[in-house]
């Protein structure tokens, strides 16, 4: 198993209302339009991930799990890898319920998007709680 850990912060504009994606960004701001964004000020971006992690995630048979923890709440989203994943973004990471790939995409066919995230966790993030995102590839 390969693992990457990213630390980020919640923000007052977190709504987690998006139906097809969830995102964590290194940006230090969030507008109300960013309804897929769960956390800001991430200390790492996909471009910072270990080459072995990226190689493992590029396997079409890989299972990729994103576990988000904040304010005493934890939520896990599971998706799959793909040979088209590059993990090249130096700004943000996006999990998708679709099979669309760009340099920000970290997993495809997610079990759910931002709107499916535990509401207690979303409330903690909206209150500015510190967040930990743990990504694993099996």
pLDDT in tens, 13-49: 999 999 999 999 999 999 999 999 999 999 999 999 9
The residue-averaged pLDDT of 103-120 equals 98
Residue 71: which CATH number?
2.60.120.630
Domain that holds residue 11: 2-137
Q: Residue 106 CA to chain centroid, in angstroms? A: 7
Model confidence pLDDT, tens digit, residues 46-70 = 999 999 999 999 999 999 999 999 9
Terminal alpha carbon distance of the chain: 5
Percent of the chain with pLDDT over 70: 100
List C-alpha distances in Å: 62 to 18, 33, 78, 114, 122: 25, 32, 11, 22, 28
Q: Are 79 and 111 in contact (CB under 8 A)?
A: yes
Give the count of domains, the chain: 1
Contacts with 7 (C-beta within 8 Å, 6 or more apart), sequence order? 42, 43, 44, 130, 131, 132, 133
């Amino acid at each position: 198993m390969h693992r990457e850990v990213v630390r980020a912060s919640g923000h007052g504009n977190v709504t987690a209302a998006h139906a097809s994606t969830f995102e964590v960004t290194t940006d230090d701001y969030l507008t109300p339009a960013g309804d897929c964004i769960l956390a800001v000020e991430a200390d790492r971006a996909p471009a910072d991930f270990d080459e072995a992690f990226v190689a493992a995630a590029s396997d079409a048979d890989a299972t990729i799990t994103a576990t988000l923890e904040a304010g005493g709440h934890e939520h896990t989203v599971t998706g799959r890898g793909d040979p088209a994943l590059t993990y090249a973004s130096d700004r943000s990471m996006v999990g998708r319920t679709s099979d669309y790939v760009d340099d920000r995409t970290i997993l495809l066919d997610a079990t759910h998007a931002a709107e499916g995230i535990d509401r207690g966790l979303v409330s903690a993030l909206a209150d500015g709680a510190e967040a930990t995102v743990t990504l694993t590839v099996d």
